[in-house]
Amino acid sequence: MLRLTVDLWNSSMEVECQLVDNISGRWNLVQERYLHRGRLPRTNAPNIFQRIARCADCGKSMWLAPPEIIKKTGQKANGRYLLCSTNRDYGKLKCTMHNANYQDVLKLVLDDVREYAQFALEDPDELLKMLTESENQQK
């Protein structure tokens, strides 16, 4: 039978309390850092054509590829491309490779918006008539 003396019992309690205090102190420090850590900044610009741009062949959405890094200089290339998501996921057997320069698509859309805005300022009734006719033709 094992008998513990009062001194041995007290010293083991002190060690145990020190360990618990030390662990809880580290736990609190880690939790404090975890709560106040910042999110990493987003490196890529958002895709404003998300869920809008579609592949001409398969009809699936186009995804915005991250900018390529030039191996010689280590810098990002200027052009970014919208690519077919089916081709990315399944390869050329499901859909051929389609891509469009993101800046070119953005420029085309902005030019059309500006054209319609100018047309709306000049003749809003004619624009409304034209839009309702095109909507009826699509149905």
pLDDT tens digits, residue range 49-89? 888 889 988 999 898 887 776 667 767 777 788 889 898 88
HSE, side-chain direction, 13 A CA sphere, residue 31: 6
Q: What is the pLDDT of residue 39?
A: 61
Average pLDDT in the chain: 77
Hey, CA dihedral for 15, 17, 18, 24, is it positive or negative?
A: positive
pLDDT at 124 over 80: yes
Q: Let me know how long the chain is.
A: 139
Cα–Cα distance measured from residue 115 to residue 108, given in angstroms and rounded to the nearest whole number: 11
The pTM assigned to this predicted structure is: 0.57
Q: How far is CA 33 from the centre of its chain?
A: 25
pLDDT at 108 over 90: yes
Higher pLDDT, 129 or 3: 129
**Amino acid letter, 4:** L
- Range ranked top by mean pLDDT from 43-57, 64-78, 88-102, 103-117: 103-117
Q: How many CB atoms lie within 10 A of CB 27?
A: 10
pLDDT band at 139 (very low <50, low <70, confident <90, very high): low
